[in-house]
Structure 1
Amino acid sequence: ELAETLTARARSHGHVLALDVPSGLDSDTGNVVGSGPAVRATHTVTFIAAKPGLYTGVGRDYAGAVAVAPIGIDTAGTPGAAHLNAPALFAAALPARDFATHKGTFGTLAVVGGDTGMCGAPILAARAALLTGAGKVHVGFLGSDAPPYDAPHPELMLHAAARLSLGAMDAVAAGCGMGGSASARQIVDAILRLHAPVLLDADALNLVARDEALAAHVAQSATARGAPCVLTPHPLEAARLLGCDTAAVQRDRLAAARTLADRYAAVAVLKGSGTVVAAPDGRVAVNPTGNAGLATGGTGDVLGGMIGALLAQRVPPYEAALAGVYLHGLAADTLCAQGDGPAGLTAGELAPAVRKLMNRLFYAPSYAA
C-alpha cells in the first residue's frame, strides 16, 4: 500500500526520493521483484557505484534521475564489473579529422538489405552512416523496387545487392529489411566470409538464428578477420539467437548480452531500455541515453548504419558499438529536449542530430578559430 501511495505521488508530479534502490526493484536486472508493486521514484541516490538495474529494463522508469554517492569507496578495476557507457570509454578510438585527409581515410561502407517493399530500411541506415562520418556509402538492395538514387542524399551509391563489390568495402552492415529468402541467406554467407568488419541486424540475425552453418560462420569469422562481428538484436531477435523466449532475455539483460557475446564470439548490442553492449572478452556496458522517442520504426536501422560507419572508419567493434548506442540515444534525448519528441519523433530525424553531437563533442575544438 505504501509503495502504491509513493508511486501515485511520483506520477502526480510530486517528488519521491529512493535511497540506493527503489524498494521492490532488483538492482541487478532492472525488474520488479516478484509480483510487485515496487516504488516508482522521481530521484534515486545510489551508494558506492551505479547499479545496472537502475539503467536497464523497467528500472529506468522506477529509478527516475539517478545520482551516485561513492561514500569514499573506490570501485575502479573491480573484476567483471559492468560499466556505464560514456564518451570516456570510446572517444579515444574515434578517428582524427586532420586537414590532410580524404574520403578514403574515413572508409567505405556497404549497407545490404531492402527486399521488395522494404527498401526504406537500408536507405535510413545509409543516410545515418553518411552523417556519422563514413567516407563513402554504398547500398545493396535485394528487392525489385529499389530507387535509382536517393534524392535527399545523392551521395549514396545504390546498387542491386548481387552487383555490389563486397570485397572492396572497409565494412558491411547487413540485415535491415533484408527478408528471409534464399538470396538473403546466400549474401549473408558471403558477407561472413569477408575480412572486413561486419555488423548483422534484423533479418540477418533471424537467418543466423535458424541456420546452424551461418551461426558457426559468425563465431569463426572473428578468428578469420581478427575482430568480432557486431550483432544488434532487439529482445525477440536475441531470444531467437539464444533459443529461448523474450521473457528469459528480459529477466536478466546483462546475462543475455554476455551469453550472446560468448556464444557467437561477437560484440552483442542488446537493444531496449538501457541497451547493453557486451564483448567476447568479458567487457560489458549499460547505456544511459535514449528515451521513448526511439520506440518507432526505423530507429534500429539508423543505429546499424551509425555503428557500420564507425566500423568503416576503423573504430574497433566494441568501441564502435559503444559510440553508436550512446550518440543514438543522446540524439533522441536532445530532440526531446527541443520538443520534437518523445511522441512523433521519427527515425529520419536522428542522424542530423547525431552529426551535430559528434562535431560538438569530439571535433569542434580542433576547428575552433
Structure 2
Amino acid sequence: DDAQWALGVARAAGVPVSAEPPDSLDGYAWVVDGLFGIGLGRALDGAFADLAERIAARARAVGCVLALDVPSGLDSDTGRIVGAGAAVAATHTLTFIGAKPGLYMGDGRDLAGEIAVASLDVPPPAAPAVTLNAPAQFAAALPARAFASHKGTFGSLAVIGGDTGMCGAPVLAARAALFAGAGKVHVGFLGAGAPPYDPPFPELMLHPADALDLDAMTAVAAGCGLGTRVAAATLVRDVLAHDAPTLLDADALNLVAAHPDLAAAVAARGAHGRACVLTPHPLEAARLLGCDTAAVQRDRLDAAHALAARFASVVVLKGAGTVIAAPDGRLTVNPTGNAALATGGTGDVLGGLIGALLAQRVAPYAAALAGVYLHGLAADTLVANGTGPAGLTAGELAPAVRALINRLFYPSTRADT
C-alpha cells in the first residue's frame, strides 16, 4: 500500500527508521510531525502526549517543526484539540489536497503556524462542504467605479445605535463605511445628548434615530451600542419592517434573542428574499441558539450553519477563524486576521464595512465575505508594519481597509491629468 511504498522510498534514501522516537530531539534541524492525521478520534496521551510536548519544546527552541496535513492532536474540522488532550505545536503545516477548516479556527491557528496546501495533483471536490475565504469568491461582486459615478451610485447607509454612553460604537461603524466606499452615511442615535456632528468626519450625517428616513436608505446597519431597552426593541422592529438590506449586530442580536416577534421577523425577511446579515460573537450566537458559549465554540461550523438556517440569514460568526454561513448551506472559513483584533470597537468597524458593501448593492453573502476578509487582512497588514499585535485600535482599521480595496480591486483607476 501507499505507506509501505513510502517506507521503502525513505529507507532507500538513507533515512533511518525506528519504531521508537529518539531520546532527544537536540541536533535535528527539523522535526516532521506525521504521527496522526485527520482521522484521529481520541486524545493524545501517555507516550504520544509526552512526544507532542517534546516537539513543541523543539519548536520553541529552534522554530523548525513541520506538521503533515494537520498537527497531531488537532481536530481538522473544528480547530479544537481532540479530547482535550495534547497536540503538536508546529511552526509550519503542509496540508494535503485542500485546506482544512480546523487549521484556521480555535487552537488551529496557533498550532499550525504557517500553512501551505499541497494538491498532490488530486482535484478538489466540485462542491466542497466548506470553502476558504479569498478574493476570488467576492471580487466580481464589488461595484465598478465608473467615471460618471455619483454619490447615489454607491448607496446610502444608515448606521443605527448609540444609546446614552455608547455613541462611539455607531460612529466607528459609520466612519468605516465611508472608508469602504459608501456614497452617503447617516448615523441615527437612540440616546439623548448625541453629538450634532463628527468633527474629524463632517461627511457623516448625524440624527436622532427616529428622524432617519429609512425608505431613502439602500442599506441599514443596526445594533452598535444600541442597548436593550424598550425603545431599542421598537427601533429594531421598525428597521425590520423596511425593505432595505439590513445588518444586525451587537444589541440588535440580543434583542432578537430576547423577543420572539423580532426573531420571527428576521426569519420572515429571509423567506421572502430579503435576508439579513447577522454578525454575532460567540456569546450572542449562544443567546440566539439558546445554548451556552462552550457549545458554540465546540463546533463553530455547525453553530453558524444552525443560525443561518434558523433565521434564513447570512451569518458571520466572529472569533478565531470567523465563519460565514448562508441559508442555502454554504460555509466559508476566513483565514485573515490576528490577535490585534481583540480590542473594543473592531466588531463595530466590521459591521460598518459590511453595511457599506450592502449599501453599494453587493449581495449579502458576498458583502459578508468581502468585509470579513478585508477587515482581517487590514489587521494583518498593520501588524506586519509594526502597528500591533498589542495596541492596535479599532479606528486604525478603516484607513487600512481603504488602501487594500483600492490596491486589490481598483488598481487601474487613474484620475485624468
Question: TM-score when scaled to structure 2?
Answer: 0.87
What do residues 193-230 of structure 1 show as CA deviations (whole Å, max 9, x unaligned)? Answer: 11110000000000001111100000001234x23100
Q: Does 1:25 align with 2:81?
A: no
Residue 247 and residue 327 in structure 1: after superposition, are their counterparts in 2 closer, same or farther (change >3 A)? same
The residue type equivalent to 1:300 in the other structure is: G
Match for residue 67 of structure 1? Answer: 116
The residue type equivalent to 1:241 in the other structure is: L
CA contact (8 A) 1:227 1:317 kept: no
Provide structure 1 residue ranges, at least 5 long, that are not aligned to the other structure.
Answer: none
Residue 74 and residue 108 in structure 1: after superposition, are their counterparts in 2 closer, same or farther (change >3 A)? same
Match for residue 178 of structure 1? Answer: 226
The residue type equivalent to 1:65 in the other structure is: E
CA contact (8 A) 1:25 1:32 kept: yes
Structure with bigger RCO (C-alpha 8 Å, 6+ apart): 1
Match for residue 319 of structure 1? Answer: 366
Match for residue 189 of structure 1? Answer: 237
Match for residue 58 of structure 1? Answer: 107
What do residues 42-100 of structure 1 show as CA deviations (whole Å, max 9, x unaligned)? Answer: 10001111100001111111111111111111114135x11100000000000000000
| 1:366 counterpart SS class | coil
The residue type equivalent to 2:141 in the other structure is: A
Counterpart-to-counterpart distance in 1, 2:57 and 2:325: 36
What do residues 274-315 of structure 1 show as CA deviations (whole Å, max 9, x unaligned)? Answer: 100000011111000000000000000000000000000000
| 2:399 counterpart SS class | helix
5 Å-filtered alignment, 1:125-204, equals: 125-204=173-252
What do residues 89-137 of structure 1 show as CA deviations (whole Å, max 9, x unaligned)? Answer: 0000000000001000000000000000000000000000000000000
Match for residue 283 of structure 1? Answer: 330
Percent identity over paired residues: 73
The residue type equivalent to 1:82 in the other structure is: V
How far did residue 14 of structure 1 move?
1.9
| 1:110 counterpart SS class | strand
Counterpart-to-counterpart distance in 2, 1:180 and 1:347: 23
Match for residue 413 of structure 2? Answer: 366
Counterpart-to-counterpart distance in 1, 2:254 and 2:237: 13
Counterpart-to-counterpart distance in 1, 2:127 and 2:250: 34
How far did residue 366 of structure 1 move?
3.1
Counterpart-to-counterpart distance in 1, 2:62 and 2:210: 56
**How many residues are aligned here?**
367
Counterpart-to-counterpart distance in 1, 2:132 and 2:228: 35
CA contact (8 A) 1:108 1:134 kept: yes
Residue from 289, 307, 331 that aligns with 2:378: 331
CA contact (8 A) 2:337 2:377 kept: yes
CA contact (8 A) 1:123 1:139 kept: yes
Q: Does 1:294 align with 2:341?
A: yes
The residue type equivalent to 2:75 in the other structure is: D
Match for residue 51 of structure 2? Answer: 2
The runs of at least 4 consecutive aligned structure 1 residues that moved more than 3 Å come to none
| 1:37 counterpart SS class | coil
Question: TM-score when scaled to structure 1?
Answer: 0.98
Provide structure 2 residue ranges, at least 5 long, that are not aligned to the other structure.
Answer: 1-49
Counterpart-to-counterpart distance in 1, 2:296 and 2:132: 20
Residue from 277, 296, 300 that aligns with 1:253: 300
Residue 39 and residue 368 in structure 1: after superposition, are their counterparts in 2 closer, same or farther (change >3 A)? farther
CA contact (8 A) 1:117 1:145 kept: no
CA contact (8 A) 2:219 2:246 kept: yes
How far did residue 13 of structure 1 move?
4.8
Residue 141 and residue 76 in structure 1: after superposition, are their counterparts in 2 closer, same or farther (change >3 A)? same
Counterpart-to-counterpart distance in 1, 2:61 and 2:395: 33
CA contact (8 A) 2:243 2:274 kept: no
Counterpart-to-counterpart distance in 1, 2:164 and 2:62: 47
How far did residue 168 of structure 1 move?
1.0
CA contact (8 A) 1:174 1:201 kept: yes
The residue type equivalent to 1:120 in the other structure is: G
How far did residue 10 of structure 1 move?
2.2
CA contact (8 A) 2:250 2:280 kept: yes
| 1:365 counterpart SS class | coil
Counterpart-to-counterpart distance in 2, 1:147 and 1:206: 25
What do residues 155-187 of structure 1 show as CA deviations (whole Å, max 9, x unaligned)? Answer: 000000011111111000000000001110001
| Greater C-alpha radius of gyration | 2
| 2:84 counterpart SS class | coil
CA contact (8 A) 1:119 1:145 kept: no
Counterpart-to-counterpart distance in 1, 2:229 and 2:202: 29
Counterpart-to-counterpart distance in 2, 1:76 and 1:96: 32
The residue type equivalent to 2:65 in the other structure is: V
Q: Does 1:352 align with 2:399?
A: yes
How far did residue 368 of structure 1 move?
8.1
CA contact (8 A) 2:161 2:222 kept: yes
